[in-house]
Structure 1
Amino acid sequence: MISQVFLTVKGDFMALDLINIRRNLHQIPELGLKEFKTQTYLLEKIADITAGKDFVEQRTWRTGILVFLKGSAAEKTIGWRTDIDALPVVEKTDLPFASQHEGCMHACGHDIHMTVALGLLNELVQTQPKNNVLFLFQPAEENEAGGMLMYKDDAFGSWLPDEFYGLHVRPDLKVGDIATNKGTLFAGTCEVFITFKGKGGHAAFPHNANDALVAASYFITQVQSIVSRNIDPIEGGVITFGSMHAGTTNNVIAETATLHGTIRTLTQDMNVLIQKRLKEMAQGIAVSFGLKADVELKQGGYLPVENDPNLAQQLMTYFENRSDVHLIDCLPAMTGEDFGYLLNKIPGVMFWLGIDTPYALHHPKMSPKEEALPFAVTAISGFLKTRIL
């Protein structure tokens, strides 16, 4: 039983058990709202950990899981959230426990996140806490803003936390590093879909067509002027188009061109401004080329991750006083996270956990140092106990 292992052994044996769980999860990555094997695996481990604990309740929401520890004299509910989905990335780590699901990989470290959450659950379930604790195993962080979907669907019900905490792995930080701040940690994001619609034709007779590819190309180059000329340089913003598809062959003028991109800003007001200017620019370029542009902006649950200043200060003070933690008061990053939606509704804190790998998040060779697992469980459970006991 996993709970017996955690309860009775320390050091290398504890680390090895966490590592095995992480490796098992790493082999079964699944995309958002399709995390069926992942959910089954997590439910089995949660059942082991919580066996015989009559103060524990549990329910599921689609592929998500909520585990509730009822406090003995509860005055509030403390929440811990982990995401459980993976990315459509072809793994290239050559690890013996690499993904068994072709074209899918835990390249963002959610296998680490889930393993830490299971370790924290085991630590906190050994004795009934004074305050309530909610563990959220949330699906669809990468693509459908699962946190927003659960909140809007009232999946939390009476278990909605008064404080919410969560982490994200960070490759460029060392094992033992925890980084956060008392303000905005991650950017808010907006997904952008644009289709330029013109008139196809023969490459030899461009005057009889309206070339959507050329219009899209002009847009790609000019859209960067929004950041350089419409945005306060102190605030900053990012516009990236990572996908463009147009045409079928060399001698046929493209009738349509589709673009897929992202907007990232540290404030919601700035995101709205960029959305407005981007749409105006797309429509203006379309008119100048005599064609049409359809613009779809999808933001929804990817708001800026804004830490509650008071709760962040308490978390940072706790970690500052631990000899095994190197706390970093860090600047915001342009990464996006749907935990921002939940923190917009519920005060809480997100922080970075160092995993020390040369490969960036979402890279097909991203491989965290597993020594981060026992460190995270030990350090974070210590903090959470100060909130629930």
Structure 2
Amino acid sequence: MLSNDDLIHIRRRLHQIPELALKEEETHDFLLETIQTFPQTNLSYREIEGLPTAILVRVAGSNPERTIGYRADIDALPVEEDTGLDFASENEGQMHACGHDIHMTVALGTLSYYADNQPKDNLIFFFQPAEESEGGGKIAYEKNAFSGEWRPDEFYALHDTPTLPAGTIGCRMGTLFAGTSEVVATLTGKGGHAAYPHQANDMVVAVAQFINQVQTIISRSIDPIESGVITFGKLRAGEINNVIAGKAVLEGTMRGLTQTMLEDLTQRVRDIGEGIARSYNCQVDVDFKQDAYYPVENTPALTAKFIDFMENDASIDFETTPPAMTGEDFGYLIHQIPGTMFWLGVGETSSLHSATFKPDEAAIEKGIHAITSYLNWRMTTGEAQDV
């Protein structure tokens, strides 16, 4: 089993070689080389055609009644690191600013434990590319990565957070992360001279009304005790100050705590687009792109067991956490397979996705302890069907 010194070394090397979605070649090779140093007696591997940087490892159980999956994401972000660490990123403009180096290290430590200590049930470890973009979890699922003996009965994953002390586990019933959908609205009218507005059809005015009306959806179209977000972050319209813009392109994001809410928000945005088209005699095309980023809606029965264990194990620090409006493609996987996602605290530092994000490495060993303790307990209780 990997020692704490081994884990720190692994994490720091992974931190030095961040790679963007679907380009995680060096990361893949380092992970595979590390896993191949573990006892191989009960390990087998599976490749995913068309997703070459993914790694699937199966640990054969001694007397299996179920197959339990564990996912760790492996990609990085296009962020220029500004931590001043001796082991900072070697790849210009790329950084593990979301802590996936921590995620991978915890998964390797957990896999190492079960390579040395054969589990009762079968385990599947999924080192997943392209979480930050491209939806690697959905790609893997649609390529039948989880079929036959490789299909988990239940799936787990963590995400690190600076809002909890290092090593603290956080979770909640219901939605942990919101679902997300990109929104692109294109409004087409007629350009013209600024001095003759009656001869044109001004899309700056139309898009302004579209934005204002969409911003009433959250306050007037969803239950006040629920949460949603619609944010427009990019607008392109016009070329020069004295020409009326005949076209406007608006880009933004929607977040909702359930898939039903996201679908309701989508319909309301479409309705408003249709109304603006009629009101301003223009064409309004609204496109949505959700792909893999479904809400992370934790499976109720399974999550209740997880929380009950974490709350009652004196060796684990646990907190019930509120939902977050950040997105995660693990939501897609647990819409297909029962599962639970949880937080691992990494101590107070700057926010996720920031250039100065510096997680506390003390979280790694504590995270492995919490996960292996839970899985050992889980493998002695219930049936796969009880989720």
Contact 1:167–1:352 (Cα < 8 Å) also in 2: yes
Q: Could you tell me how far 1:203 is from its partner in structure 2?
A: 4.3
* Alignment of 1:24 onto 2:33: no
Contact 2:14–2:101 (Cα < 8 Å) also in 1: yes
TM norm structure 2: 0.90
> What residue is the counterpart of 1:10 in the other structure?
none
> What residue is the counterpart of 2:210 in the other structure?
219
Contact 1:176–1:324 (Cα < 8 Å) also in 2: no
* Alignment of 1:272 onto 2:259: no
* Alignment of 1:60 onto 2:47: yes
> What residue is the counterpart of 1:145 in the other structure?
135
How many angstroms apart in 2 are the aligned matches of 1:118 and 1:55?
A: 15
C-alpha change, 1:386 and 1:257, in structure 2 (3 Å) is same
> What residue is the counterpart of 2:97 in the other structure?
107
Contact 1:93–1:365 (Cα < 8 Å) also in 2: yes
Alignment of 1:303-318 (within 5 A): 303-318=294-309
Alignment of 1:6-25 (within 5 A): 6=2, 14-25=3-14
> What residue is the counterpart of 2:71 in the other structure?
81
1:35 corresponds to which of 1, 24, 40: 24
1:171 corresponds to which of 162, 166, 169: 162
Q: Could you tell me how far 1:364 is from its partner in structure 2?
A: 2.3
1:122 maps to a residue whose letter is S
Contact 1:357–1:366 (Cα < 8 Å) also in 2: no
Contact 1:132–1:388 (Cα < 8 Å) also in 2: no
How many angstroms apart in 2 are the aligned matches of 1:245 and 1:96?
A: 42
C-alpha change, 1:98 and 1:212, in structure 2 (3 Å) is farther
Q: Could you tell me how far 1:70 is from its partner in structure 2?
A: 1.3
Q: Could you tell me how far 1:96 is from its partner in structure 2?
A: 2.9
2:61 maps to a residue whose letter is G
Deviations 1:81-118 (Å, cap 9, x if unpaired)? 11112223333323333333333322221111111111
1:93 corresponds to which of 67, 73, 83: 83
C-alpha change, 1:169 and 1:293, in structure 2 (3 Å) is same
Q: Could you say what the CA RMSD is over the residues aligned between the two structures, in angstroms?
A: 2.1
The 3-state SS of whatever aligns with 1:294 is: strand
Contact 2:169–2:367 (Cα < 8 Å) also in 1: no
Alignment of 1:186-201 (within 5 A): 186-201=177-192
Aligned length: 376
Q: Could you tell me how far 1:68 is from its partner in structure 2?
A: 0.5
C-alpha change, 1:46 and 1:260, in structure 2 (3 Å) is farther
Q: Could you tell me how far 1:184 is from its partner in structure 2?
A: 2.1
How many angstroms apart in 1 are the aligned matches of 2:144 and 2:363?
A: 34
Q: Could you tell me how far 1:80 is from its partner in structure 2?
A: 0.6
> What residue is the counterpart of 1:290 in the other structure?
281
How many angstroms apart in 2 are the aligned matches of 1:84 and 1:94?
A: 22
How many angstroms apart in 2 are the aligned matches of 1:19 and 1:209?
A: 64
> What residue is the counterpart of 1:116 in the other structure?
106
The 3-state SS of whatever aligns with 1:228 is: helix
Deviations 1:276-305 (Å, cap 9, x if unpaired)? 011221232244333322211112322221
C-alpha change, 1:68 and 1:37, in structure 2 (3 Å) is same
> What residue is the counterpart of 2:126 in the other structure?
136
C-alpha change, 1:381 and 1:172, in structure 2 (3 Å) is same
> What residue is the counterpart of 1:9 in the other structure?
none
Q: Could you tell me how far 1:220 is from its partner in structure 2?
A: 2.3
Q: Could you tell me how far 1:206 is from its partner in structure 2?
A: 4.2
1:261 maps to a residue whose letter is G
1:57 maps to a residue whose letter is S
Q: Could you tell me how far 1:221 is from its partner in structure 2?
A: 2.7
> What residue is the counterpart of 2:146 in the other structure?
156
Q: Could you tell me how far 1:249 is from its partner in structure 2?
A: 4.3
Contact 1:186–1:332 (Cα < 8 Å) also in 2: yes
The 3-state SS of whatever aligns with 2:33 is: helix
Deviations 1:48-89 (Å, cap 9, x if unpaired)? 224xx2321112221211000111222210111111122233
265-274 vs 319-328, greater mean Cα deviation:
319-328
Alignment of 1:194-273 (within 5 A): 194-273=185-264
How many angstroms apart in 2 are the aligned matches of 1:102 and 1:216?
A: 38
Contact 2:38–2:112 (Cα < 8 Å) also in 1: yes
How many angstroms apart in 2 are the aligned matches of 1:100 and 1:212?
A: 46
The 3-state SS of whatever aligns with 1:133 is: strand
Q: Could you tell me how far 1:134 is from its partner in structure 2?
A: 0.2
How many angstroms apart in 2 are the aligned matches of 1:349 and 1:264?
A: 20
Structure 2: which 5+ runs fail to align? Answer: 381-387
The 3-state SS of whatever aligns with 2:254 is: strand
Q: Could you tell me how far 1:168 is from its partner in structure 2?
A: 0.7
Q: Could you tell me how far 1:327 is from its partner in structure 2?
A: 1.1
1:337 corresponds to which of 311, 317, 328: 328
2:10 maps to a residue whose letter is I
* Alignment of 1:322 onto 2:313: yes
How many angstroms apart in 2 are the aligned matches of 1:82 and 1:34?
A: 16
Q: What is the identity percentage for the equivalent residue pairs of Structure 1 and Structure 2? A: 53
The 3-state SS of whatever aligns with 2:343 is: strand
How many angstroms apart in 2 are the aligned matches of 1:37 and 1:203?
A: 55
1:71 maps to a residue whose letter is G
